[in-house]
Structures are given as structure tokens and as C-alpha cells.
Amino acid sequence: MGLLDDAKETAGAAAKKVSRAAEDTVDRVKDKSDEAKANADVRKAETERDSVEKRNEAKEQLRDN
């Protein structure tokens, strides 16, 4: 029975290792997704800022004329 118990323990340890690896992969994918969303939000905010600046410059030019 010792050999069978060792095999069960080894199989259990391997299963836990695979499970942890899968969880790590899922976490990495989620992290990359969050990073991509944050970068998209930053680009959107920068674009909006630039648009507001240009609009304000145009208004200022109209006031000056």
C-alpha cells in the first residue's frame, strides 16, 4: 500500500501545481486586461483634454477678433 499512497500523493501534488499554474495564468490575463483598459481610458482622457484646449483656443481667437 505504500507505493499506492505515494502515487496518490504525487498525483495530488501535481494536480495542485497545475491548478496553481492555471490560476496564475488567469490572474496574468486579468492584469493585462485591466492594464489595457486603463491605457485606453488615459488615451481617451488625453484626447478629450486636447479637444477642449483646441476649442478654448478657437473661442479665444473669436473673442480677440
**pLDDT one-digit tens code per residue, 11-40:** 999 999 999 999 999 999 999 999 999 999
In a domain, 29, yes or no: yes
In a domain, 5, yes or no: no
- Checking if the pLDDT of 1 tops 70, the result is no
Q: What is the pLDDT of residue 59?
A: 94
State the pTM of this model. 0.64
In a domain, 59, yes or no: no
In a domain, 41, yes or no: yes
**Count of structural domains, the chain:** 1
In a domain, 61, yes or no: no
Q: What is the extent of the structural domain holding 44?
A: 25-53
Alpha carbon distance 24, 45 (integer Å): 31
* 6 Cα distance to chain centroid: 40
